[in-house]
Structures are given as structure tokens and as C-alpha cells.
Structure 1
């Protein structure tokens, strides 16, 4: 994945007016696709294989028509994701991307995405996807969109005080 992050650093810039070229974005997408394809070739889990095929298909669409701006999340977003402690993990809990049990790792770095409490991933697996796509791999919710605050509904039964406060 070091090649991926190297390519990603070429795309990202502190200049807000500089946009990545389609070639640069496609190169990063290809590196991520290749990594996911490797995982797909080694998986024996049908659910995991379906998810990987779906992610690869999505990436291939981006390779064919690269976005002008990478919609991914910044590294600071990944750094701020809620970590799941080892005590909260069950022996059967696995990463949806790599299908490896979290507890097979002596020091698991598992994060939960804000879209749903059950969307837990190895940070190493979900990080590259989030950096390029900015959406949850499972439900494709845009993780950078802020939740809208519900507007108060007008009740006809409210006391009419003429706009005066006591």
C-alpha cells in the first residue's frame, strides 16, 4: 500500500486551486483496485467476495471516468475515527474487506464508522478506500456530510404571546 499512499500524496496538495489530473486519480484508483483484487483472489468468504467485487466495480467506474476532485476524507478524519477496544471484539468479528478476524492480530486497530455502529473495519483496510471515496464501503453514505439538524415544526397550539418574552 506504500505505492498507493505515495500516489495519493501526489494528488493531495495544500493549494486549494490545484486540481489533480485524471491520470493521477486513475493511477491511485488502479493501485487500490489491484489491492482489492488481491484480497478477492485469496478470499473464501462469499459475503466478503461480493463486497470486494462491488468495491472493485465502483473503482473501475472511477478509472474510466475519473473525478475532477478526489471526494475522499483527509488523513485527519481517519485519525479521529472512533477506535474499538480489543475487549469489545468477539472472536467471530471480522473485517468486511479482508475477512480476517480482528483478534487474529495481536494489536488490532479497528475503527467504527459514524454511519452505523456495526460498520467496523481494520483501519489498514478501510483507510485507502475512505481516502479516495469518502463513503462507507458497506452502505456508501458520504462520511463528510454533516447531519442536518431537524427543523422545529410549527404547532398551532403554541401559546401566542405576540412575540414578547417575559
Structure 2
């Protein structure tokens, strides 16, 4: 009987993730370890005291940055309930003090005075670019895989992962 309840519970979690993914427009996708290392290279040299992970999913990148950049404040935003709860649990279990995780829409938040990291999708990048222009946000943006449309990257690096993921570096 335990197996039946476990199966129902797991199916419910999958259903919640699917519904949330359809609502948001993309499912949570973790950055590869190689991509995380490339992002860290740029984030550690950031002049900003705060790094914001836009759409943090299960929190793997935000946690990686927080552990490796203990003198910086890491903020993570996630809309999907299950990934948000898992990232909060991991933060608590790992006792990470410099990481704040919010279940909020980052498009409605103040993104000034911080380095932005993201692994968004095509439409998410278009919306981010609009927000940057509308709010006159000048910052460093480190984007995994997806590029902005009207801003030329300062640099493109490639992670040594299966997909050779491009990491775009912008100074807006």
C-alpha cells in the first residue's frame, strides 16, 4: 500500500511541475556543471555585491554560486512551486547563509545594482531585454545558452559540456 501512495505522490509532483511549466512557458532546466563553472568565472569578478539568478529552478546554480562566493549575496527567483520548495529545502540542509530564495516573478522585481545570471528561454530573454531598456538597467548579464536579441554580447564562452553550451556575457 505504501508503494501506491508513493506513486500517487510522485505523480502529483510531476503534474504540478507540468502545469506550472505550461503556465510559465518553460520547465525547470538545470545548468550543467561545466556551464556553472563558466558562469562562476565571471560572477566572481563582478563588482556587484549581489548576484541574482533569474528563474533558479531547483536552485543548483544559485547554491553553487552561494557556496563558491561566500562574500556575495545571492538572490534566486523561481515561480514553479516544486522547484522552489526543493531549492529552499537544499538551502536549509546545506545551511547556506548568503542565499535568499523567493517564489516571485523576477520581471516584477528591482534588478538594478546586481549581476544577473540566467538560463531562460527565447521569450524570456525578449522580456528581460525589454525590462532592461524600460527600466534603464545597466549591469552585467551572464546568460546560459540563450542570447539577448538587440544587445551584442561582450564575449561568448563555451562550456565543456555535451552541448558546448554558449555562455553569453553582456555589459548593458
The two structures share one fold, judged by TM-score above 0.5: no
- TM class by shorter chain equals under 0.3
TM-score by length of 2: 0.23
Greater relative contact order structure (CA < 8 Å, 6+ sep): 2
More strand by share: 2
